[in-house]
Structure 1
């Protein structure tokens, strides 16, 4: 039996105080809606339908690359009305899993369990028991403990308001049953909306079994309505990720001051100091040490490499036993070979630094290929951009670049060549040559120092 997913994502989210649709606000570095889609797609559904409304063009631009289909809800008339917009595109023999774009942390395993229960012909719903159930629909049971209905908070009586078991809105059911129930839903409630939750009472009336599951943690089914809730959910999620890394053998100086905004593949004996941000896909080899306040994005860091405080590494490949920082910036296209060193206030872009080579401080290397065992002195820059085009600099093995040098590309510095400090190099330098290109110094003994008028 096929599975189709419907994710409700049409709301504006006015309490976010933002022009951005609520479901596109980010948690752990990606939109909440993307979290929901990615977890659902682990079940390999036949189709994923996203109900869009407010900011539809923005939502569509995000979800289409993920293979989801968008269905427009012109008027937001309730959850039942939203689901009904997608049903004409759903196979009547499929299982339908209903999710919400502002509930980002429902794990795929719970979705799978709901779908399996629905495949037995039952209505499967996800509930959660809360100490404070204010604002949530209540799960109403009979004396035998069987679910009879879901009553929204604004429609609940005094006794029902005392119920702690609440509705998450997440459910799975056969499309054929859903198609029979949706047209029967009325809007005679405090909100004047078509509630999807009314299908529970219909299932009871029709003799359809109702099963329920609960999450391991209430945060897994928590929706986000404002920035306070988003921040709270972010911190909970980050702590779960940090604790898992600790269990996997990664040492974090402080799990509460660590952010993982993507995927981290880690070796053994790794140490990560406070305020580190890991973003995108990052791989760390054995023994990597990351200092405080570092940001690493879409990078591979080889075994034994030391990354000192306040360094930024973005789309770079770093080999083994390198030394980076403090205050270093490796921009996209940077490749460091074994034992290379990029020191404080050094920036690289589209640059390869060969084995054992070093740029210790205050240097910019752009569009540069540096060979092995090259020393690049403080204040060196490669002038790779003429305002229109960019050009390449090649520095061969063993070269020595004196401090405060400007190397104007395109240019090649030969093997074992030396560039005198303060030089501006505009022509190739042959192997083993010394190049000095600076203005002649003049000392004027008769010069009169200016005085203040």
Structure 2
């Protein structure tokens, strides 16, 4: 569909969001809702994509700066038809199909747009996207024949009682050829209570001039608009449900699906098991046969085959677990690599570290990677054993097969096969504790007199 152009309307103020962030930049699954649309439409290889902005247009320009997207300004905001017309200059010379959609309806799929485009055959000039909600509320209606031919587009406030009984509602998404759409947009008037130019009048004017308009139907979820924080939360819930179903259909076991949360780019292999209350932030890849245990949080992490993570683990950006590695409860990793079969079973922080295959990191181990100004690296060799409650003060290298005794604070390199024990000399004073307790009890008793 190289003869396809997309116009996305995003000029509204979004006042119901009560936010300093532009409405269409609020995330769903960790990705701005606008980007959901852009990525979906990208499947159709559009020759042009235009975002029409108004309020806070600078935020939109910055957000799409690295994308092949043109931002056109609507000033003042005089309605949706007027907004679509603002893309005309950006599409000057374009010859093909033009779709108009809304930036706050992020779930519209490429396959649905393709159906709309395919509907423009013969004498059909405009295709509109309709849906049948459980409650028609105040949606505009599409009065259409059984074959989809639209007879009338009517706003709820202007509809008769009979027309309001129709449950086919207008999503606002339309497609028309560039030879027709600008003429139809320019013919839209503003003779209404708000004095605005409305996009549905494109279809109304096409019908009035004797052209055929058809309706293509989709599900209400696909065209749900987001105008408030509550609707954003509903969209997030809808999207998460879809991702959970998609994951399970692909061979992932979710012990309690409703408690697992995905990011837009989460990748899970086959036979992965995810226990309850797991959160996947952006940039997570999980290989086949891995287990992510309960209450773990992963972001920017790569987990290899047959690895185990958690429970209560945190993998931050740059964490890499190679095949068979294990991260246990209350272990945090950041910009660290666990080699094949290496393990840190509990209560450990591993930051800016490279841990060799088969190494064993004892409970309470900390890589002291930050001196207040710079980050430093810890390298632990293959099969090394780090005793519990050790502090590895970076930069430091622990050799292969080396042992660091429990309770050590290591600030110098340890050679392969060496034992490093860094402890203060134990001092024993026989009977000192008994004498101390006796003295304190007498002092306390005296204080009460």
State the TM-score, normalizing by the size of structure 2.
0.89
Out of 149, 159, 181, the residue aligned to residue 152 of structure 2 is: 149
What is the match of residue 331 of structure 1?
316
Check if 1:27 corresponds to 2:28.
yes
What is the match of residue 110 of structure 1?
112
Q: Counterparts of 2:400 and 2:134 in 1: how far apart (Å)?
A: 72
What is the match of residue 276 of structure 2?
292
What is the match of residue 125 of structure 1?
128
Q: Counterparts of 2:147 and 2:384 in 1: how far apart (Å)?
A: 84
Q: Counterparts of 1:182 and 1:296 in 2: how far apart (Å)?
A: 44
What is the match of residue 345 of structure 2?
360
Out of 358, 372, 376, the residue aligned to residue 387 of structure 1 is: 372
Change in Cα spacing, 1:232 to 1:407, as seen in structure 2 (3 Å) is: closer
Q: Deviations over 1:308-334 (max 9, x none)?
A: 221222222322322222212222222
Does the 8 Å CA contact 2:336/2:354 hold for their aligned counterparts?
yes
Does the 8 Å CA contact 2:399/2:414 hold for their aligned counterparts?
yes
Change in Cα spacing, 1:411 to 1:74, as seen in structure 2 (3 Å) is: same
Change in Cα spacing, 1:233 to 1:304, as seen in structure 2 (3 Å) is: closer
Out of 224, 227, 232, the residue aligned to residue 226 of structure 2 is: 224
> What are the ranges of 5 or more consecutive residues in structure 1 without an aligned counterpart?
258-274
What is the match of residue 185 of structure 1?
188
Does the 8 Å CA contact 1:119/1:174 hold for their aligned counterparts?
no
What is the match of residue 8 of structure 1?
9
Check if 1:202 corresponds to 2:205.
yes
Deviates more, 1:81-90 or 1:200-209: 200-209
Does the 8 Å CA contact 2:255/2:274 hold for their aligned counterparts?
no
Q: Deviations over 1:284-315 (max 9, x none)?
A: 33432222212234233333332222122222
What is the match of residue 251 of structure 1?
253
Change in Cα spacing, 1:194 to 1:26, as seen in structure 2 (3 Å) is: same
> What are the ranges of 5 or more consecutive residues in structure 2 without an aligned counterpart?
none
SS of the counterpart of 2:266?
Answer: strand
C-alpha deviation, 1:392, in angstroms: 1.9
What is the match of residue 291 of structure 2?
306
What is the match of residue 215 of structure 2?
212
Q: Deviations over 1:127-151 (max 9, x none)?
A: 2233432322222458998523322
C-alpha deviation, 1:48, in angstroms: 0.6
Does the 8 Å CA contact 1:129/1:165 hold for their aligned counterparts?
yes
Change in Cα spacing, 1:59 to 1:335, as seen in structure 2 (3 Å) is: same
Change in Cα spacing, 1:404 to 1:52, as seen in structure 2 (3 Å) is: same
C-alpha deviation, 1:7, in angstroms: 0.8
What is the match of residue 101 of structure 2?
99
What is the match of residue 413 of structure 2?
428
SS of the counterpart of 1:132?
Answer: coil
Q: Counterparts of 1:428 and 1:85 in 2: how far apart (Å)?
A: 66
SS of the counterpart of 1:214?
Answer: strand
C-alpha deviation, 1:101, in angstroms: 0.7
Q: Counterparts of 1:171 and 1:14 in 2: how far apart (Å)?
A: 25
Q: Counterparts of 2:178 and 2:273 in 1: how far apart (Å)?
A: 52
Change in Cα spacing, 1:283 to 1:238, as seen in structure 2 (3 Å) is: closer
Q: Counterparts of 2:430 and 2:380 in 1: how far apart (Å)?
A: 40
C-alpha deviation, 1:241, in angstroms: 3.4
Out of 276, 281, 289, the residue aligned to residue 260 of structure 2 is: 276
C-alpha deviation, 1:29, in angstroms: 2.7
Q: Deviations over 1:24-49 (max 9, x none)?
A: 22233322222222222211111111
Does the 8 Å CA contact 2:141/2:169 hold for their aligned counterparts?
yes
SS of the counterpart of 1:86?
Answer: coil
Change in Cα spacing, 1:52 to 1:361, as seen in structure 2 (3 Å) is: same
RMSD: 2.5
What is the match of residue 236 of structure 1?
238
Q: Counterparts of 1:212 and 1:280 in 2: how far apart (Å)?
A: 31
C-alpha deviation, 1:420, in angstroms: 1.9
Check if 1:376 corresponds to 2:361.
yes
Change in Cα spacing, 1:337 to 1:197, as seen in structure 2 (3 Å) is: closer
Q: Deviations over 1:250-299 (max 9, x none)?
A: 333344x0xxxxxxxxxxxxxxxxx2223243333343222221223423
Q: Counterparts of 1:88 and 1:376 in 2: how far apart (Å)?
A: 63
Does the 8 Å CA contact 1:340/1:355 hold for their aligned counterparts?
yes
C-alpha deviation, 1:198, in angstroms: 1.6
